[in-house]
Amino acid sequence: MSFDDYAGKVYKILLTINGYVAISFGILSMFLIATATPKSFGAYKYFLFNIAFCACLFDFYMTEVYKPKVLFPALVMCPDGYIKTHDNVIGTFMFYGFITFFGSTAVAVFSAFLYRYAAITNNLRLLMSWPVLIIIGLMHPLYEFPTLAFYTMGTGNRSVTDATILQHWPKIAPHYIDKGCAAVDYDASPYPRIFMFFCVGEFVFSLTVIVFIVFKSFAKLRAQRKFMSQKTYRMHNRLLISLIFQLIVPLTTVFIPFTLMSLCVFFSIEDVQWLHMGCMIIGTLHSPLNTIMMLVFLPAYRSKCMWMITFGKKRVYNTSSVSNTYNDKTRATSKQVSPTSHAF
């Protein structure tokens, strides 16, 4: 099998372009969330900001800092971005960064769904307590810890790994030797297979939990509909729907492409270089598409964006009036619904 296709310039150029686009859209989304979020959203604003921040950070790291050259089906990824090195240890830590940022995007989306469920079930006080917030914060860098632990155990003796990889794929040598690559091999250690299993398993687990929370949230919202004003119900329902579409973004641009790559590597499928490079390129569109979803489903951000585009000629969505209108219409039901449900 030849690995020369992985050295193509088109792949690297597209990653670079994606990086500039991701940074631009990421900054835009964080600016809109910081300046145009309706007051009635409450602390949910910070969970939305967290999604935008993690998405932007992941895309920037993958397109500019790391910019990995994937050499699959060999379990090899080499840094080819700002931090280009010949040191295997540095290259391995760069790979750790990729897995860690990948996990943080999953936790960011999960925590936002958790907030929506807590808002509907009147458990915001518990969710916003310091112990829970600290746990959520620690989950961002530690969610992929078991996966990285098995990967680290799989690194073992690097000379044995190198010899095994070169024996399986002799043509990988010019792209691999002295390139500072992160590498493991199935025949050099049993742990890489466990690592790959965890990569797929954590995706399935995350998706299962999120889908469960979505169904529970909609069921609880319908059950409490009689205690809410129509406007309150519509806002809860709209935010849940918008969050579902924000889930579709990392699902289609991050989780599914990287899971597909993992399965190809797990079963040692060869001669699909185009698939691996295509998945890496798609995987760095997370931040722009997340911003587009925000603009489509949340009028406040769309209005603010139009105001910026027209240099202030188009009226901005009045977030304070939305909050006041919401509070006026829900005051009558405040005895039946906990005050914590007023924070979106």
Q: For 183, list phi and psi in degrees, rounded to 5.
A: -150, 140
Asked if 19 and 63 touch (Cβ cutoff 8 Å), the reply is: yes
Q: pLDDT digits over 275-304, tens only?
A: 999 999 998 888 898 899 889 888 889 999
Strands 69-70 and 182-184: unpaired
Of 155-164, 294-303, 314-323, 328-337, give the range with the top mean pLDDT.
Answer: 155-164
* Ramachandran bin of 185, using left for φ above 0, alpha for ψ from -120 to 50, beta for the remaining angles: beta
CA distance 133 to 152: 29
Q: For position 143, what pLDDT does the model report?
A: 92
The DSSP annotation for 185-232 comes to: -TTT-SHHHHHHHHHHHHHHHHHHHHHHHHHHHHHHHHHTGGGS-HHH
Q: For position 235, what pLDDT does the model report?
A: 75
Q: What does the CA dihedral 37, 39, 43, 47 come to, rounded to 10 degrees? A: -10
Radius of gyration from C-alpha coordinates of the chain: 23
Q: Which residue has the higher pLDDT, 268 or 142?
A: 142
**Residue among 208, 243, 203 nearest 48 (CA):** 243
Q: For 77, list phi and psi in degrees, rounded to 5.
A: -135, 130
Average pLDDT, stretch 119-133? 91
Q: pLDDT digits over 199-258, tens only?
A: 878 778 877 887 887 788 788 878 877 777 787 777 777 777 777 776 788 788 877 888
Q: Which residue has the higher pLDDT, 339 or 343?
A: 343
Estimate the crossing angle of helix 286-297 against helix 230-250, to 10 degrees.
Answer: 160
- Which CATH architecture describes the domain 4-342? Up-down Bundle (1.20)
Helix/strand/coil for 75: strand
Query: Global pTM?
Result: 0.82
Question: Chain-wide mean pLDDT for the chain?
Answer: 84
Q: Where are the domains of the chain?
A: 4-342
Q: pLDDT digits over 46-64, tens only?
A: 999 999 999 999 999 999 9
Structure tokens at 251: 């699902």
CA distance 176 to 199: 23
CA distance 45 to 40: 9
